[in-house]
Amino acid sequence: MDTTKLPSIKRNILLNPGPATTTDSVKYAQVVPDICPREEEFGDIMKQLGRDLVDIVHGGDAFTAVLFCGSGTINIDATVSSLVPANKKILIVNNGAYSNRAAEVCDYYHMDYVNLKLDITQPADVSKVREALENDADIAAVYCCHNETGTGVLNPIREIGAVAHEFKCTMIVDTTSTYAMIPIDMEKDNLDFVMSSAQKGIMAFTGLSYTIGRTSILEASKDYPTRSYYTNLYMQYSFIKKTGQMHFTPPVQTIYAARQGIKEYFEEGEQPKWARHQAVWQALVDGSEALGFKLLIKKEYQSKLVVSLKYPDDPNFSFEKMHDLIYEQGFTIYPGKVADLPSFRLCALGAITPDDIADFFVAMKAALKRMNVALPVQYND
Ligand SMILES: *Cc1c(COP(=O)(O)O)cnc(C)c1O
């Protein structure tokens, strides 16, 4: 479809942690003739999609993509509930809201697990992971989050993966907010399972999620206890392997958009796309600091995809008011996810550039002025 001949759609700049700003060509890719997803024509699309999703993380022949219809959390549910053998445990490296979600999944399925709670304002300490593995021989899988999107802290997954493998554990990482943004290499990064969702790095829409896993472990998981039906990884994997199809109805139009998003991902290129996200992050940091805002997380700890900013100590400052004024101008900002540290977030996901960020700060400065917030913003400490 030649989308240049179609009317352009109002472009909003989403600085929330996903869904992200999409291109018009991705939006229009959803408009397709009706098709039953059980037709061969659609099966071919699914097969190529699976291969492309493995390619994005340089998985090669040893890995398979397992697709689900759902938002990104479905991958957390699937990996945690499906990859722990009988009488074994999973270690949750817990340093933020998203890794804590994996601990909650363990609770909901009444699983025996080790909850390694760490400081959420800094990267996970690899020596603590080693210590936990030394102390408990029943741990068979290690789970951590790559970019804790709630704060923007980046975890050292390659180092944690090396330790996990030293102890013969399966390494599972929530890469939902880094996949197709920060370059990932399954083997070099010591990973067995990663995951993402179409509304994040590939810049398409919510409703399609994928776990990319080591095929040999997927095969072995056939004999693991089943704790869920809809999100059982082996069930979905074996059905896809046998038929090339998802077990239950796939999100057809979302898949067409995801296919277009992946095409645009490969056209932009792994390194140039990562460079663009970093340039957007840098523009967000520079613009925030120019207005006097303080960062919640040290720069060297950050993923360079999320900027967490402390609320200023100004009686006229209100996040909600600032949000509403900026939202009217087509920009979306997002509250923080750190209970005792009032903060908000600006994210560098999506099809946006540093020019968009320059426009954003014009709107942000105008909003702060309208609220009579002193500039640069003030802090008591
Ligand atoms: C977005 C995100 C998810 C998935 O959240 P959903 O709302 O279910 O799509 C999971 N993990 C991380 C790190 C994320 O950023």
pLDDT at 311: 95
Residue with the smallest CA separation from ligand 1 atom 15 is: 177
Q: What is the pLDDT of residue 336?
A: 84
Low pLDDT (below 50) residues in the chain: none
**Domains of the chain, first to last:** 34-266 (3.40.640.10), 270-370 (3.90.1150.10)
Q: Is there an atom of ligand 1 within 6 Å of 155 CB?
A: no
pLDDT tens-digit profile of 251-296?
999 999 999 999 999 999 999 999 999 999 999 999 999 999 999 9
What's the pLDDT score for residue 357? 98
For residue 177, the ligand 1 atom closest to its alpha carbon is 15
Which letter, b or e, does each residue of 162-178 get, where b requires 16 or more Cβ atoms within 10 Å of its Cβ?
ebbeebebbbbbbbbbb
Among 218, 69, 93, 103, residue whose Cα is nearest residue 160: 93
* pLDDT at residue 337 in the model: 75
Is any ligand 1 atom within 6 A of the Cβ of residue 175?
Answer: no
- Closest atom of ligand 1 relative to the 175 alpha carbon: 13
Q: How far is the CA of 173 from the centre of ligand 1 (A)?
A: 12
**pTM given for the model:** 0.97
Cα(215) to ligand 1 centroid in Å equals 24
Distances, alpha carbon 120 to alpha carbons 116, 151, 220, 341, in Å:
12, 8, 34, 11
Q: What is the DSSP letter of 233?
A: H
Which residue CA neighbors atom 6 of ligand 1 most closely? 72
Q: What was the pLDDT predicted at 233?
A: 98
What spacing in Å lies between the alpha carbon of 380 and ligand 1's midpoint?
34
Angle, CA 102 vertex, CA 285 and CA 350 arms, to 5°: 35
Q: 177 in ligand 1 pocket by Cβ < 6 Å? A: yes
What is the pLDDT at residue 3?
72
Q: Are 22 and 350 in contact (CB under 8 A)?
A: yes
Residue 1 pLDDT: 65
* Residue tagged 């949750």 (tokens): 92
Residue 19 beta carbon below 6 angstroms from any ligand 1 atom: no
